[in-house]
Chains A and B, each alone.
Chain A
Amino acid sequence: MSKFPKSLMAASVAALTAAPAMAEKLGLGRTATDAEVAAWDLDVFPDGSNLPDGKGDVWTGEEVFADACAVCHGEFAEGAGNWPKLAGGADTLDHEDPLKTVGSYWPYLSTTFDYVRRSMPFGAAGTLSDDDVYAIVAYILYSNDLVDDDFVLSKETFADVVLPNAEGFIVDDRAEMEYGKFTNRCMSDCKPGAVEITTTVVFPGDPNSGFDATPISQAVMGTAGAATEAAAPATEAPSEEAPATKAPVEEAAAPAAALDGELVAKGEKVFKKCKACHKVGDKAKNGTGPMLNGVFGRAAATVDGFKYSKPMKAAAEGGLVWDEAELSGYLANPRKYMKGTKMSFAGLKKDKDIAAILEFLKSHSQ
């Protein structure tokens, strides 16, 4: 079959009539240097061509993944919140609500490598070394039970890996399967019997004005598709709002101390791990996590408009204030510090990273 619908070919002639005719080259632009092409031409093909030199093993991958990826994708690539799951879903593609992951759906390993290398981590794209990318991809394969724990991914072993769904795609066949069927322009008596409502809207209110979040029909919602690839049907009521009242800040907790500029700069780098969810600085708004301007010395759970977890609200009622000790404890191991927190971050293992990030947050709290 042709990849191009005939109609498109016919349409193209007319579409071009108003376009300017090109005669000679205009001599505009300049020749790209090899270094420039090498810097941008990073795409990797399914056969592994254009892969960089390098290698990475599963265990290194686990460490790098915990550090760079787990905040959104979970410690075991199982996904956190609405962020994409990278593992699981084997043999679910012909089931209701298939789980599409690297292991169950992606046809080519090159796609994973290419995407991780160029576009991840979210908020710090292009910062991983090629070896780290190889290691992360090896770990994602391991999380999907596709390689053993002694596997080393490299330019040389790349072609050995065939993903389970490699043969699962067909080229657009709408021209054969659909276009011939969708030609009947019936004008009257087009349906037998009376027309009745079979499904009514799940979210009846306007999502932005006094949104009634109570689904009328859970059954329909359960099979709902999603707007974008990262999306999943809502599982929690979106109308819950944090209390708008601000608790008084204890003055003693926020001394205006002199900042260590070097440490602030280090902290800014560490903060890249947080940036996907938390914003600071001018115009910072709430994202997946609350905005963090003024967090140092602030009473917990007091950012307007952010929906805090129940344990966080309870701790706030108990008088929790984000001073040095509390923030250090939280950042070292969020889920241990506060069971049930919404913050799906593995924690900062190094004390010096915690010290740096605290200094950075202080700089946005004065």
Chain B
Amino acid sequence: MSNETKEAGTSRRGFLKGAAAAGAAVGAAGAARAEGDPLITEVQEWASGLGEGVDATPYGMPIEFEGDVVRRNVEWLTADQISSINFTPLHALDGTITPQGCAFERHHSGAITLKKEDYRLMINGLVDTPLVFTYEDLERFPRSQQTFFLECAANTGMEWAGSQLNGAQYTHGMIHNMEYTGVSLRTLLEEAGLDAAGDLKDKWVYVEGADASSNGRSIPMEKALDDCMVAFKANGEALRMEHGYPVRLVVPGWEGNMWVKWLRRIEVMDKPVESREETSKYTDTLEDGTSRKWTWAMDAKSVVTSPSPQMPIKHGKGPLVITGLAWSGNGAITAVDVSLDGGVTWQEARLAEPGKKMALTRFYLDINWDGSEMFLQSRAMDETGYVQPTKAQLRDVRGLNSIYHNNCIQTWHVNAKGEANNVEVS
């Protein structure tokens, strides 16, 4: 493999040289012809007539040509479509913020319709005064705002035993990244008063939702007082119904199941509940049959979103943007490396912005593709010094029966035609 990477994209000259070399392979669209491109030489309808007026769509939707950039599910993965999952179209997005309308959904008993007027949040248990808040009450507390990723513990879970689904959307799409506005959980707990809890070190909070599943989880007090947030806005607007309107919990860096939607109760306790979602599910069974529980933090992980099976290279040889996402539940991403040869050699990718704690980081590697096959991989490093492992490294520790918390390096095999497939390599 001999893809040049040093010049292309990093200087204008290098970029142009690469483009010229690849020129013949580039398709006819946009290429100059003797008589000129009619899109330029002829007056087009849109350049002459009138477009839509304001208010044609009071709440705007993506233009029709982007209609396939949507959440998708894989019907046979779950018993029905209510207690189910779908996937964010990571392959077609860029930047780091996930628009709410295409951010993946996971419900345990469906997305419920809960009005702000009908919303109540109770804090009880080992508190000085058990309290009930209305939605309006929550809006009167001092607010904070921060961007965090939410990753389902089962993201990439299907890939544990082998390459299963063909696309970054399906292998890595149980994740989204939004800018949340809300009230810190600490503020609400302090409003109820924690003197009654005594020493906070070994205390817990139990959080549950208002939907039929109630999806309760126990969270150690240390985390609850640290950075958890009771959020009511995402990306500047109200949460969507499918993400817990009007109020959800934000538990930065920890598995998505703990981010209880339609949050209705917070109980301060001296021991964990050991609920269904923290014992029978979201636990990792090891080779000897014992299982890990309380595997809350989502370890550093990354994936190349393009090229990928749903985003083949269509332009042939020449300048190629390789891009993807990296994240860590243990802090900020410090670097991302990309390999074109299945992990023999690596080169550091460019981070679009410095990594933010527990938020998605976008990376780019601009290469001059020579048209030879590639085994594309990415590898994330976070501020703790952790280096994203291979699937083999994880299997060495955990065996073959795990499902959740799979943060292995992903491989896309890109052939000479630019088509990509999900594979495992030696």
B131 touches A45 (CB 8 A): no
B223 touches A5 (CB 8 A): no
B212 touches A179 (CB 8 A): no
Give the residue among A7, A36, A98, A105 with the most B Cβ atoms within 10 A.
A7
Give the residue among A43, A205, A234 with the most B Cβ atoms within 10 A.
A43
Give the residue among A108, A185, A276 with the most B Cβ atoms within 10 A.
A185
A226 partner residues in chain B, CB cutoff 8 A: 77, 157-158, 403
For chain B residues 209-247, which have a beta carbon within 8 Å of chain A? 212-214, 216, 220, 222-223, 226-227
Contacting A187 at CB < 8 Å: which of B134, B161, B345? B345
A46 partner residues in chain B, CB cutoff 8 A: 274
Contacting B288 at CB < 8 Å: which of A19, A94, A126? A94
Q: Is B10 an interface residue (CB 8 A)?
A: no
A177 partner residues in chain B, CB cutoff 8 A: 397
Q: Is B6 an interface residue (CB 8 A)?
A: no
B388 partner residues in chain A, CB cutoff 8 A: 182
For chain A residues 180-200, which have a beta carbon within 8 Å of chain B? 181-191, 193-200
Q: Interface size class for chain B?
A: 35 or more
For chain B residues 233-288, which have a beta carbon within 8 Å of chain A? 252-253, 264-265, 267, 271, 273-276, 279-281, 283, 285, 287-288
B141 partner residues in chain A, CB cutoff 8 A: 26, 28
A81 partner residues in chain B, CB cutoff 8 A: 79
Q: Which chain B residue lies CB-closest to A114?
A: B275
B85 touches A227 (CB 8 A): yes
Contacting B160 at CB < 8 Å: which of A119, A172, A204, A225? A225
B276 touches A98 (CB 8 A): no
CA distance A38 to B72 in the complex (A): 40
Chain A nearest CB from B323 CB (Å) reads 20
Q: Which chain A residue lies CB-closest to B163?
A: A201
A224 touches B164 (CB 8 A): yes
A179 touches B85 (CB 8 A): no
Question: Do A114 and B273 form a contact, CB below 8 Å, given A40-B264, A43-B216, A230-B83?
Answer: yes
For chain A residues 1-35, which have a beta carbon within 8 Å of chain B? 3-8, 10-12, 14-16, 18-20, 22, 25-26, 28-32
B426 partner residues in chain A, CB cutoff 8 A: 191, 193-198
Q: Which chain B residue lies CB-closest to A3?
A: B220
B226 touches A208 (CB 8 A): no
A236 partner residues in chain B, CB cutoff 8 A: 76
CA distance A6 to B158 in the complex (A): 30
A5 touches B384 (CB 8 A): yes
A16 partner residues in chain B, CB cutoff 8 A: 226-227
CA distance A202 to B161 in the complex (A): 11
B387 touches A15 (CB 8 A): no
Give the residue among B77, B293, B379, B425 with the most A Cβ atoms within 10 A.
B77
A32 partner residues in chain B, CB cutoff 8 A: 122-124, 130-132
A15 partner residues in chain B, CB cutoff 8 A: 146, 226-227, 252, 357-358
Chain B nearest CB from A321 CB (Å) reads 27
Q: Is B5 an interface residue (CB 8 A)?
A: no
Chain B nearest CB from A144 CB (Å) reads 13
A43 touches B161 (CB 8 A): no
For chain B residues 159-180, which have a beta carbon within 8 Å of chain A? 160-167, 170, 174
CA distance A71 to B319 in the complex (A): 57
Contacting A122 at CB < 8 Å: which of B109, B129, B294, B332? B109
A227 partner residues in chain B, CB cutoff 8 A: 74, 77-78, 85, 154, 157-158, 174
B271 touches A29 (CB 8 A): no
Q: Identify the stretch in B33-41, B55-63, B336-344 within 8 Å (CB) of chain A at 4 or more residues.
A: B336-344
Q: Is A277 an interface residue (CB 8 A)?
A: yes
Question: Do A26 and B191 form a contact, CB below 8 Å, given A37-B130, A189-B345?
Answer: yes
B79 touches A82 (CB 8 A): yes
CA distance A7 to B357 in the complex (A): 11
Q: Is A229 an interface residue (CB 8 A)?
A: yes
Question: Do A195 and B375 form a contact, CB below 8 Å, given A16-B227, A228-B154, A288-B80?
Answer: yes
Question: Do A224 and B79 form a contact, CB below 8 Å, given A20-B142, A187-B337, A206-B167?
Answer: no
Question: Do A201 and B280 form a contact, CB below 8 Å, given A94-B289, A191-B343, A225-B161?
Answer: no
Q: Is B309 an interface residue (CB 8 A)?
A: yes
A-B contact count (CB 8 A): 362
Q: Is A339 an interface residue (CB 8 A)?
A: no
A11 touches B331 (CB 8 A): yes
Chain B nearest CB from A71 CB (Å) reads 11
Question: Do A11 and B357 form a contact, CB below 8 Å, given A227-B77, A231-B78?
Answer: yes
A174 partner residues in chain B, CB cutoff 8 A: 292, 295, 299
Q: Which chain B residue lies CB-closest to A15?
A: B227
A106 touches B280 (CB 8 A): yes
B212 touches A126 (CB 8 A): yes
**Hey, what's the 0/1 contact readout for A156-173 against B, CB within 8 Å counting as 1?**
000000000000111111
B283 touches A169 (CB 8 A): yes
CA distance A96 to B399 in the complex (A): 10
A200 touches B227 (CB 8 A): no
A98 touches B289 (CB 8 A): yes
Q: Which chain A residue lies CB-closest to B382?
A: A7
Q: Is B310 an interface residue (CB 8 A)?
A: yes
Q: Is A110 an interface residue (CB 8 A)?
A: yes
The 4 A-B pairs with the shortest beta carbon distances in the complex, nearest first, are A94-B289, A195-B342, A220-B162, A20-B142
20 contacts between A and B (CB under 8 A): A26-B140, A30-B132, A41-B267, A82-B80, A115-B276, A119-B108, A168-B291, A170-B290, A171-B293, A178-B299, A186-B346, A188-B346, A191-B426, A198-B424, A199-B162, A207-B166, A208-B72, A217-B162, A224-B162, A276-B80
